[in-house]
Structure 1
Amino acid sequence: MSQAPLALVERDDDLARLVERAARAEALAVDVEANGLFAYRPRLCTIQLAFREGDGIAVAVVDALRAPVAPLAPLLGAAGPPKVLHDLTFDARMLAEAGAPLAGARDTSVAARMLGCAATGLAALLASELGVTIDKQLQQHDWGRRPLASAELRYLADDVLHLLALDARLAERGRAIGIEDEIAEECAYKLATALGPPRDPRPAYARIKGAQALDPEGRAILRRLVAARDAAAEEADLPAFKIVGSEVLLELAQRRPARADDVRAVRGAAAGRAAACVAAWLRAVEQGRSDGDVPEEERALFLQVRPPRRELAARRAMETRITGWRRAEAKARKVDEQVVLPGHCAQDLVEIALAAGSGGDAAAAAIARIPGLGARRLARYGGALAALVSAPPSSEPPGTAT
């Protein structure tokens, strides 16, 4: 199938014509690029679309810095044709923020994982499934730069040009082993998760590795240091990590410097772009000392109380039990373990098992509500899963009638 000339869309009227053409397609390949490695707040820079038109593939690059994105909403939403993306999480978030949220999306990375592919990156899959080689040298390019050069446009086009063919190949493989429903369910779950609130509600400073070991004053200082770094990053319009690393801020919170020389003694705290922030670090330390602790409403999110040993042992036993059952069932069906039970469903199952009164009807009802489990798995495994969470951990995993 041939490729039509690449279209660069920069004007409203051109975008309207593109939407009209693409709306008639059977499916639409979608990819986006942003400038998150080069700006404090990432901006959607380009949207790449590909669809079958006549005897060829039409490819368009929408310049999201010059053309409005909102007119794409009907096309990318539920009313438009099915969308095909590779690893849709980032794309879905950026499109939603720009006013054109995704619906009805398929993810080739999900299909590849369910099929047990050894490598699930786009370049690896195109090579293994279609014998197509694409260049990924611009993977960390600053897509906010203008004008877009011809080499950049070719790179953008390559990310969607073969995506429909890859989707068709993976779908064919999925149908051959009867897992198309599980693939669709996982794609829907992944999209819903991408568009929903973050799973970790803790503020950024609380997610820094090692922060949990700080005393109250230390975590108050770390909170102030992260805020100071964000202010510097916003002023410079750079990602926060390009000002200074989180591990440096953690060390400053541990040492609590009182003088500029003390700051300079911490490796990286006064180097590069952080050299202009020495006074800001000192102010943050002083403010944190004055605070004494993080605000009360954040304290519960920051502190993670380690469960009692008995609870930890019960959790490990149930995880082992579920993992063993999933592995045995996957082996019997000759499918990947994620087809039988995705990891996120397994974790929800553990929580159901540990909940008080999780046996019987209560367990069955809770299992039916697990996000991403789906009607197909519930019908096939509902009884076995209820038995898994209800039986004593020391007993043998229940069998499954297949």
Structure 2
Amino acid sequence: MSQAPLVLVERDDDLARLIERAARAEALAVDVEANGLFAYRPRLCTIQLAFREGDGIAVAVVDALRAPVAPLAPLLGAAGPPKVLHDLTFDARMLAEAGAPLAGARDTSVSARMLGCAATGLAALLASELGVTIDKQLQQHDWGRRPLASAELRYLADDVLHLLALDARLAERGRAIGIEDEIAEECAYKLATALGPPRDPRPAYARIKGAQALDPEGRAILRRLVAAREAAAEEADVPAFKIVGSEVLLELAQRRPARADDVRAVRGAAAGRAATCVAAWLRAIEQGRSDGDVPEEERALFLQVRPPRRELAARRAMETRITGWRRAEAKARKVDEQVVLPGHCAQDLVEIALAAGDAGDAAVAAAIARIPGLGARRLARYGGALAALVSAPPPSGPPGTAT
């Protein structure tokens, strides 16, 4: 199938014509690029589209820095053709923020994972499934730079040019072993979670590795240091990690220097862009000392109390049970374990088991039916088995983890 000349869309009228053409397609390949590695707040920079038109593939690059994105909403939403993306999470978030949220999307990375592919990156899949080689050297390019050079446009086009063919190949393999419903359910779950709130509600400072070991004053200082880094990053319009690493802020919260020379003694605290932040670090440390601890409403999110040993043992036992059942069922069906029960569903099942207590069979069954991403087909096939897993006494043996 031939490729039509690439279209670069930079004006409203050109975008309107593209939307009219793409709306008639049977399916639409979509990809986006942003400048998140180079700006404090990532901006959607380009949207790449590909669709079959006549005997060829039409490819367009929408310059999101010059053309409005909102008019794409009907095309990318439920009213438009089915969309095909590879690893849709980032794309979905950026498009939603720009006013053109996705709906009706399929994800080739999900299909590949469900099929048990060893490598699920786009380049690896195109090579293994279609024998197509693409160049990924611009994967960390600054897509906010203009004008877009011919080599950059070729790179952008390659990310969608073969996506529809890849989706068709993977879908054919999925149908051959009867897992198309499970693939569709997982794609819908992935899109819903991409557009929903983050699963970890803790503030950024509480997610820094090692922060949990700090005393109250130390975590108050770390909170102030992270806020100071955010302010510096916003002023410089760069990602926060380009100001200073989180491990440096943690060390400052541990040492709590009171003089500029002591700050400079902490490796990285006064290097590069952080060289102008020494006074800001000292102010943050002083403010943290004055605070004494993080605000009460954040304290519960920060502190992770280790469950009692008995509860941990019960959790490990249930994880072992679910893992063993899932592995045996996958082997019997000759499918990947994620087809039988995705890892996120397995973890939700563990929580149901731990919370079940004296709940009756009907309550347990209802809780299982509400597991996000489980889907009607799995529920019909495995509902009884999952209820039995939850309700039976804990097994003995070495612990395992369902992932």
> TM exceeds 0.5?
yes
In the TM superposition, what is the alpha-carbon distance from 1:219 to its structure 2 partner? 0.3
1:276–1:358 CA distance, 2 compared to 1 (3 A): farther
SS of 1:170's partner is: helix
The structural deviation recorded for 1:359 is 4.8
Residue deviations 1:175-208, cap 9 Å, x none?
0000000000000000000000000000000000
Give 2:389's aligned residue. Answer: 388
Alpha carbons 1:322, 1:388 under 8 Å: kept? yes
8 Å Cα contact 2:316-2:399 kept in structure 1:
no
C-alpha offsets along residues 91-146 of structure 1, whole Å, 9 cap, x if unaligned? 00000000000000000000000000000000000000000000000000000000
**Alpha-carbon separation, structure 2, partners of 1:257 and 1:75:** 55
Structure 1: distance between partners of 2:30 and 2:402: 40
| Worse-superposed segment, 28-37 or 351-360 | 351-360
User: Deviations along 1:58-87, whole A, 9 cap, x unmatched?
Assistant: 000000000000000000000000000000
1:283 paired residue number: 283
User: If the length of structure 1 is used for normalisation, what is the TM-score?
Assistant: 0.98
For residue 249 of structure 1, report the CA deviation from its aligned partner.
0.1
Give the Cα–Cα distance (whole angstroms) in 1 for the partners of residues 244 and 200 of structure 2.
Answer: 23
For 2:361, the equivalent position in structure 1 comes to 361
Gaps of 5+ in 2: none
Alpha-carbon spacing, 1:355–1:125, altered in 2? closer, same or farther (3 Å): same
2: CA distance, partners of 1:362 / 1:100 = 41
1:194 equivalent in alignment to 2:211: no
Q: Distance in 2 between matches of 1:400 and 1:222?
A: 32
Matches within 5 A, 1:220-239: 220-239=220-239
Return the offset for 1:396: 11
- Between the two proteins, what is the percent identity of the paired residues? 97
CA contact 1:130–1:166 (8 Å) conserved in 2: yes
Question: In structure 2, do the counterparts of structure 1 residues 294 and 396 end up closer, same or farther at CA, with 3 Å as the change threshold?
Answer: closer
Shift of 1:394: 2.2
Return closer, same or farther for 1:254/1:279 CA change in 2, 3 Å cut-off. Answer: same
Given that residues 352 and 358 in structure 1 are in contact (C-alpha distance below 8 angstroms), is that contact kept between their aligned partners in structure 2?
no
Distance 1:397 1:205 in 2: 35
- In structure 2, relative to structure 1, the CA distance for the partners of 1:146 and 1:400 (3 Å cut) is closer
Report the CA distance between 1:393 and its aligned residue: 1.0
Q: Distance in 1 between matches of 2:400 and 2:215?
A: 49
Question: Helix, strand or coil: the match of 2:356?
Answer: coil
Distance 2:263 2:223 in 1: 17
Q: Distance in 1 between matches of 2:35 and 2:116?
A: 32
- Match of 1:281, SS state, is helix
Inter-CA distance 52–211: structure 2 relative to 1 (3 Å threshold): same
CA-CA distance at 1:362 after TM superposition: 4.3
Distance (Å, rounded) in 2 between the aligned partners of 1:189 and 1:161: 26
CA distance in 2: counterparts of 1:65 and 1:400, whole angstroms: 45
CA 1:355–1:323 in structure 2 vs 1: closer, same or farther (change >3 Å)?
A: same
Residue-pair matches, total:
402
Q: Distance in 1 between matches of 2:396 and 2:225?
A: 51
The Cα shift of 1:323 comes to: 0.1
Q: Deviations over 1:230-285 (max 9, x none)?
A: 00000000000000000000000000000001101100001111010000000000
Unaligned stretches of 5+ residues in structure 1 = none
- The 1:162/1:292 distance shift into structure 2, 3 A limit, reads same
The alpha-carbon deviation at position 395 of structure 1 amounts to: 7.4
Residues 362-392 of structure 1 deviation map (CA, whole Å, 9 limit, x = unaligned): 4511000000000000000000000000000
Q: Provide the rounded CA distance (Å) in 2 between the counterparts of 1:347 and 1:111.
A: 21
- Could you say what secondary structure the match of 1:218 adopts? helix
Contact 1:92 1:195 in 2 (8 A): yes
- What secondary structure is seen at the aligned counterpart in 2 of 1:157? helix
Contact 2:316-2:401 within 8 A present in 1 as well:
no
User: Retained in 1: the 8 A contact 2:123–2:134?
Assistant: yes
**Runs of 4+ more than 2 Å apart:** 356-363, 394-402
Kept in 1: contact 2:27–2:84 (CA 8 A): yes
Measured at CA, do residues 69 and 140 of structure 1 come closer, stay the same or move farther in structure 2, by a change above 3 Å?
same
